[in-house]
Structure 1
Amino acid sequence: MLYTKPLNNNWDFKRMYSRGKSQAHPLLVTYVMKNKLGYNRLGITASKKIGNAVKRNRARRIIKQAYFEAEKELGCGYDVVLVARGRTVGAKSTDVLPVFLSHAKKLGFLAQTR
């Protein structure tokens, strides 16, 4: 069974931005870094550049849904930070999912049992 905890601490996000591997796309930016835990930790950010609170929350919901749809295919023991971009608000989770999976493949945190 897969288990994902939230990534809440500001220093965790700063560490991810400075030392994590990243991939960018107009819909999404993905940061990944191994952790020494047996489970993944997920952080989602949407800055005020995205828009008002309604738009930021929509972007977070879209990203969260795409992550949980792809969770079965991901490896364990990673910290993942997903950053919303301006186009994320107008997209659907089905648009974000292939972008996230391609980032996961390039960054090497897809499960080996594919």
Structure 2
Amino acid sequence: MRKEQRIKKNTDFQHVFRKGKSMANRQFVVYAVKKEEQDTYRIGLSVSKKIGNAVMRNRIKRLIREAVHASKDKIPAGVDLVIIARKPTTEMSLEEITKSLQHVLKRLPPLSK
């Protein structure tokens, strides 16, 4: 993901949590908020220490980034997404993570500003 496609600041995360809509399944919770002034989507990742050690958390984040890259045509422009990984993601392959993430993104409610 390019630098302008990442959410890094705590204030941006909090804005998505406060104003965004959410959808979840067993593996992920996804919050999304519409940002009209953006011409691309932005992704923020959250993987808790409860999931595992740093190596496991970084592996999960790499797999999620790859799954988002594979699903980029299904993500609308001008949207901020925060993806929170849950415990079952530790035993999943890239294909399973991609399928699960696409499932959650498809079920997201319509976004308004």
Question: TM over 0.5, yes or no?
Answer: yes
Q: SS in structure 1 opposite 2:70?
A: helix
Backbone CA RMSD of aligned residues: 1.8
Deviation (angstroms), 1:73:
2.2
TM-score, length of structure 1 as denominator length? 0.85
Match of 1:46 in 2: 47
Q: Which has the higher contact order (CA 8 A, sep 6+)?
A: 2
Gaps of at least 5 residues in structure 2 are: none
> 8 Å contact 1:20–1:33 — kept in the other structure?
yes
TM-score, L = length of structure 2 = 0.85
Query: What is the percentage of aligned positions where both structures have the same residue?
Result: 32
Give distance in 2, aligned partners of 1:85 and 1:4.
26
Shift of 1:25: 1.5
8 Å Cα contact 1:7/1:42 also seen in 2: yes
Moved over 2 A (4+): none
- Are the aligned partners of 1:28 and 1:96 in contact in 2 as well (CA < 8 Å)? no
**Paired residues, number:** 107
> 2:65 maps to which residue?
64
Q: Which runs of 5+ in 1 are unaligned?
A: 110-114
In the alignment, the residues of structure 2 paired with residue 77 and residue 46 of structure 1 have an alpha-carbon distance, to the nearest angstrom, of 24
* Matching residue's letter, 1:29: V
